[in-house]
Homo-oligomer: A and B are copies of this chain.
């Protein structure tokens, strides 16, 4: 897989050692995140909206109501920016201003288009469903033609992309490493609670596999 080209928009000016432009790193972060934040502009006004996403090969899929501002804006081909962030830990230093987070983030720039063909749209919805809850596409009731009309899907080719990652311990100035304050990393763990069946769910098979979201 070819690396992404570094562009004026994706080049890290500060802490360039945290930048990653290889496709595997970028895709791994996209795939592990449940949601992204999509930025778009109306007039001169920026909007940012959190939404579910999925990666289908080299493109990012989003979906929503055909009437949603975000979907309509993307369908019109306007430029968007997509931000994804996974928080891995608190970085606590002996000096206040050296506190940080360990994280993995991705930023994408591009423009999307509507996914309209029946087979292509069905495949995109399968991809979005499987991203959220692997196995569900086969387990649950799949959409029919009428359902498809009530949901809009858009796709953006992943061309301009970068990742930014911080790992490891805090960086304190040697002068202050001897201070009597705890310094280190406190990992953030994501896990799943006890499933709560819906009132109308009398039987409980099959249950989806959400293990990929467990982190830390």
Contacts and interface: CB of A to CB of B under 8 A. Distances in A.
A48 B83 contact: yes
A46 B81 contact: yes
Interface in A90-124: 90, 92-97, 99, 101, 103, 105, 107, 109
A169 B83 CA distance: 28
A38 interface: yes
A37 B50 CA distance: 9
A188 B169 contact: no
A136 B99 contact: yes
Interface in A120-142: 125, 129, 132-133, 136-137, 139-142
A48 B39 contact: yes
A17 interface: no
B49 A181 contact: no
Nearest to A14: B65
Interface of A is mostly: mixed
Nearest to A38: B48
Given A67-B14, A193-B188, A205-B180, A37 B48 contact: yes
A179 interface: yes
B196 A182 contact: no
A52 interface: yes
Nearest to A216: B193
Contacts of A178: 200
14 contacts: A38-B48, A48-B82, A95-B143, A96-B129, A97-B125, A139-B181, A139-B182, A169-B198, A172-B200, A182-B195, A182-B206, A183-B200, A186-B192, A187-B193
